[in-house]
Structure 1
Amino acid sequence: MREDNATPFLKIHPDDNVLVALQNLPAGTSILLENGPLILPQAVDAKHKFFINSMDEGDSVMMYGALVGKVQSKVPKGGLMTTENTKHAAGTYSYNGFNYDWKQPDISNFINRTYNGYKRSDGRVGTSNYWLFIPMVFCENRNLDVIKEALQKELGYALSDKYNQFTRQLIKAFEKDEDLFDIELNTSSIEKARIFKNVDGIKFLNHTGGCGGTRQDSATLSSLLAAYADHPNIGGITVLSLGCQHLQVEYFLNDLKKRNPSFDKPMYVFEQQKWASEEQLIFDAIRKTFSGLTEINKIQRETSPIKTLTIGVKCGGSDGFSGISANPAVGYASDLLVALGGKVLLAEFPELCGAEQDLIERCVDQEVAGKFIGLMESYNDFAKRVGSGFHMNPSPGNIKDGLITDAMKSIGAVRKGGTSPVTDVLDYTEPAVKPGLNLVCTPGNDVESTTGKTASGATLILFTTGLGTPTGNPVASTIKIATNSKLANKMSDIIDIDAGDIISGKKTIQQMGEEILEYCIKAASGEVIPKAVLLGQDDFIPWKRGVSL
């Protein structure tokens, strides 16, 4: 833990040759290092990195004790790391056997702890109880929207109508020829009480697939939709199909049966081309769904052990503090859950580039390591064939806030997964069945990643952000954790937890990690509602692995 008078920079690992500025450092700042003083030749903004020694072209840049880049031109001692003087580089990797000695965290504060979840007939436990609408093809999205407006508003699941009220205020001001910019947002609204007390919501998986693309994309989408129907947070399903699309209902049902032969949730299928009219289809779908809601409303929360939790970990809108505050704090929470017998899902394969060797050394056997290596290499090779590659992952926002190379971003990102052994590696939509840390192959894209890890069974998602992002998921409650207090205060409407206290020195990574797990237990029990859920951030984007025709 830092003290208030501690040095305003951080050396993460003894082998590093860069320092991280924890606050803005003006030009001329004198920093005392073990090998003597360092005078900054230029200003360094908080979150950015500067070199401990003078660097020559071709020198290795080390951070987190790993190779994260190569110097492109001579840089003076104390020089700022930039995209001009440093380019991505990562170490080679291979499997050399499993000799990993994991030091488990102290779990004494969580032994015998429970949460109140929804137990399903197959033994899994949901943290929510949702009814899910699934379209087999994008042609049914409009029907879903009509049903959504009817059901959510009348059953008490609609978001606040404050924006509708504001628009009405503007209309009145316009009619009276008043200044529109004098109108204040009136946030008062009357919320309709929920009819079904044990149903947490009605969710809709609008998407743009199911036809028109490759058969491979339709097959992947079918597997994804089956995974969502089978998800422990889902109590019942309504399926809308057109009838003539690539993704036929029978393919979806086969994938569902393959995934869970004992699937027994109420599910109603409506194929529009078999109905007399669109109006009648919608009437019948609403009527049958209402009947299903009365059934799943009979399910109540029951006490469940923490080991039944499956938590996905994700970062988006990352900054230069992500790898030293929120991500390692989430990593500590991950280690606590694994030590308690739960599952943790770490995805975003493009953001594991540079961290491969560390993860491989943690794989419990050669089969797990081999699958990880195979998925990483095939994914990166495909990206290269279309003129890209993992090295192009950092976004302009990442770079602006101090994440200069993909390896630097990746090694900081992988800290969300903690330090526990890797028990399994899953391809896209594969279910997590083994307790422990599971690696899930998804893109780094925020929504595609959260969509994928939910398909693998995440019932909650811990989402760290340094810049702020309104991402959520319709099925797995998404908990937002800020890497810095400035963001937490600025975007308090979307942030649930502030990990900036690690940067200020008020809390340790371990203390923050325990707070995060405590919040997860409350969210899993329905005692707190994460802001992404309250704001209706129900983002869902399937990963298209093929081209669009």
Structure 2
Amino acid sequence: MVDGKAPVLQLMPGDEVAVALRDIQAGEVLPPFGVRAAGAIPFGHKVSLQPLAQGDVIHRLGQPIGLAIGPIVAGAHVHLHNMGFEASMAGHAIGTRLSNAPLRSPQAIPTFDGYLRADGKAGTRNYVGVLTSVNCSALVARMIADHFRDPARLMTYPGVDGVVALTHKSGCSVADGSMSMAMLRRTLAGYARHPNFAGVLLVGLGCEDNQIDQLVEEEKLVLGDSLAKLVMQETGGTRSSISRGIEMVEAMLEKASMRRRQRIPASEIMVGLQCGGSDSFSGISANPALGAAVDRLVACGGTAILAETPEIYGAENLLLERAVSNEVGERLIGLLEWWDDYTSKEPQGFDNNPSPGNKAGGLTTILEKSLGAVAKGGTTNLVEVYGYARPIDKRGLVFMDSPGFDPMSATGQVAGGANLIAFTTGRGSCFGCRPAPSIKLATNSEMFARMEEDMDINCGTILDGDNSIDEMGEVIFRQMIASASGNATKSEVLGYGDDEFAPWHVNAWL
């Protein structure tokens, strides 16, 4: 457990740096190391515990996070001005540290109150969705959903969580056969069959590249009572389409209101793991605590989806060591090689990932950020690696390829089947991801107190010395069960989740 009164924390013996647990004043002696701060060290930033020469490798949690770009004295602030990026120094050994953690017996697996769908999947919410095939149908989709924003209209349909319009900026001038079109159709199909939707209306214009009939055929969707289409050019235009769409959604709401929550084992929870607005504490408190919750979920037979490929770079060895086969490990290496080539066109390559907010929070390089990001995956084995928005068909810890941009990454996870999102943040990201409830986890108590209206759990109590990582893992796991059972998260209360729908596009638009 962290000593909440200590001024700095060395994460592993041998690390050349420690993390400031509060603002450090110049000249202050830092027990138990006896080092005197050479200057002011901001909260969450690194301080050198020993003199370093130019070119020395700097470690955090025993892992390399960068090089000294010049001499660094003991007690110095270590950040952008004196630590530089070096390409990933992570090893690529596969399957050398497999976990033998046992699964819980069926009698010991907790349950949640969810919706069991006809295909056997479990929903944590009961929405009706309005999805668009193209940007041109976005207004109609939003107007259809807006009709049901009035609580008085939804009172007629008890047990329904609402009508959600999810729109995007693509669907036309995207070539058939391109990576972007394939991912868009895969994403829309994943949402169309998502268990948190009792019914979905697909709305198109009519002349777009992303034809609804082709989407339905390629993705093997089946039109019927719970999945219908509306084409504006065939229906008579904007007003006629809105009116007809409202009628079609009302029919879906009638059926949705007949659904009832029932006891479902926690093995049917599939959680997407996200971190955004990360700070130096993400890898110390919230992320490893979320990892402890993931270990509990996986022991119940549940599934956790780690993603954001650029944010495992430099720490990929921690996943590869737990890959269950050479094939799984090689798939992960292949994704990193693709991203290495893709980011080579950026001014700073992979190291362009840490944002200004990440850096202000004490993170210096992508190698350091990745250490914290990987911690969300806990300690269990990596059982599979998936392309973006691919349906998740294996239980346990899996990885999905995605950008580091949270809305795009979470959109892919939900398309893959995630019925819950767990999102850690150190700077204070405001985020939702309908139809999946999003649990927000704060990394430090100062930010939690400042933004409590957006945060569900304060993992800063780990830094304060009040809780261990394992204790907070239990708190998060229980919150997963409660949220899956219908307890509204802060982001749901605030109304987040519609605008965060962001399918990933790779190729240039024509």
Q: 1:248 matched to which residue of 2?
A: 211
Secondary structure class of the residue paired with 1:481: strand
Q: Which letter maps to 1:52?
A: L
Q: For 2:133, which of 127, 132, 136 is the aligned residue? A: 136
Q: For 1:237, which of 179, 200, 203 is the aligned residue? A: 200
Does 2:19 match 1:20?
A: yes
Secondary structure class of the residue paired with 1:291: helix
Q: For 2:495, which of 511, 528, 536 is the aligned residue? A: 536
Aligned-partner Cα distance in 2 for 1:54–1:500? 30
Q: Deviations over 1:170-196 (max 9, x none)?
A: xxxxxxxxxxxxxxxxxxxxxxxx321
Q: 1:169 matched to which residue of 2?
A: none
Q: Is the 8 A contact 2:381 2:397 kept in 1?
A: yes
Does 2:263 match 1:266?
A: no
Q: Deviations over 1:128-187 (max 9, x none)?
A: 111110111100111122212212226556xxxxxxxxxxxxxxxxxxxxxxxxxxxxxx
Q: 1:160 matched to which residue of 2?
A: none
Does 2:259 match 1:304?
A: no
**What's the offset of the Cα at 1:416?**
0.7
Q: 1:503 matched to which residue of 2?
A: 463
**What's the offset of the Cα at 1:264?**
6.8
Q: For 2:162, which of 192, 195, 201 is the aligned residue? A: 201
Q: 2:6 matched to which residue of 1?
A: 7
Does 2:367 match 1:407?
A: yes
Aligned-partner Cα distance in 1 for 2:457–2:134? 37
Does 2:356 match 1:393?
A: no
Compared with structure 1, are the counterparts of its residues 516 and 97 closer, same or farther at alpha carbon in structure 2 (3 Å cutoff)?
Answer: closer
Aligned-partner Cα distance in 2 for 1:22–1:509? 16
Does 2:25 match 1:29?
A: no
Aligned-partner Cα distance in 2 for 1:404–1:265? 52
Q: Is the 8 A contact 2:27 2:38 kept in 1?
A: yes
Q: Which runs of 4+ in 1 moved over 3 A?
A: 90-97, 103-110, 154-157, 262-265
- Identity of counterpart residues, as a percentage? 35
Task: State the TM-score, normalizing by the size of structure 1.
Answer: 0.88
Compared with structure 1, are the counterparts of its residues 431 and 196 closer, same or farther at alpha carbon in structure 2 (3 Å cutoff)?
Answer: same
Secondary structure class of the residue paired with 1:226: helix
Secondary structure class of the residue paired with 2:462: helix
Q: Which letter maps to 2:202?
A: V
Aligned-partner Cα distance in 2 for 1:275–1:317? 44
Q: For 1:478, which of 435, 438, 441 is the aligned residue? A: 438
Task: State the TM-score, normalizing by the size of structure 2.
Answer: 0.95
Compared with structure 1, are the counterparts of its residues 363 and 101 closer, same or farther at alpha carbon in structure 2 (3 Å cutoff)?
Answer: closer
Does 2:502 match 1:547?
A: no
Does 2:34 match 1:76?
A: no
Aligned-partner Cα distance in 2 for 1:483–1:42? 25
Aligned-partner Cα distance in 2 for 1:505–1:487? 17
Aligned-partner Cα distance in 1 for 2:189–2:212? 11
Secondary structure class of the residue paired with 1:503: coil
Q: Is the 8 A contact 2:318 2:374 kept in 1?
A: no
Q: Deviations over 1:328-365 (max 9, x none)?
A: 11010011101111000011111101111111111100
**What's the offset of the Cα at 1:103?**
5.8
Compared with structure 1, are the counterparts of its residues 109 and 254 closer, same or farther at alpha carbon in structure 2 (3 Å cutoff)?
Answer: closer
**What's the offset of the Cα at 1:491?**
0.9
Q: Is the 8 A contact 1:67 1:407 kept in 2?
A: yes
Q: 1:116 matched to which residue of 2?
A: 113
Does 2:425 match 1:465?
A: yes
Secondary structure class of the residue paired with 2:113: strand
Q: Deviations over 1:2-41 (max 9, x none)?
A: 345x4221111123111011111111111345xx621111
Q: Is the 8 A contact 2:88 2:367 kept in 1?
A: no
Q: Where does structure 2 lack aligned partners over 5 or more consecutive residues?
A: none
Aligned-partner Cα distance in 2 for 1:51–1:365? 39
Secondary structure class of the residue paired with 2:34: strand
**What's the offset of the Cα at 1:278?**
2.7
Q: Deviations over 1:387-437 (max 9, x none)?
A: 452211000111011001111011011101111110000110111111110
Q: For 1:51, which of 41, 48, 53 is the aligned residue? A: 48
Q: Which has the larger Rg? A: 1
Q: For 1:332, which of 278, 281, 292 is the aligned residue? A: 292
Compared with structure 1, are the counterparts of its residues 3 and 31 closer, same or farther at alpha carbon in structure 2 (3 Å cutoff)?
Answer: closer
Secondary structure class of the residue paired with 1:238: strand
Q: Which letter maps to 2:219?
A: L
Q: Is the 8 A contact 2:90 2:315 kept in 1?
A: no
Compared with structure 1, are the counterparts of its residues 337 and 244 closer, same or farther at alpha carbon in structure 2 (3 Å cutoff)?
Answer: same
Q: Deviations over 1:519-541 (max 9, x none)?
A: 11111111x20011111111111
**What's the offset of the Cα at 1:279?**
2.1
Aligned-partner Cα distance in 2 for 1:56–1:152? 62
Secondary structure class of the residue paired with 1:151: coil
Aligned-partner Cα distance in 2 for 1:273–1:264? 21
Compared with structure 1, are the counterparts of its residues 108 and 63 closer, same or farther at alpha carbon in structure 2 (3 Å cutoff)?
Answer: farther
**RMSD across aligned positions (CA):** 2.0
Equivalent pairs counted in the alignment come to: 506
**What's the offset of the Cα at 1:382?**
1.1
Aligned-partner Cα distance in 2 for 1:104–1:359? 16
Aligned-partner Cα distance in 2 for 1:263–1:311? 28
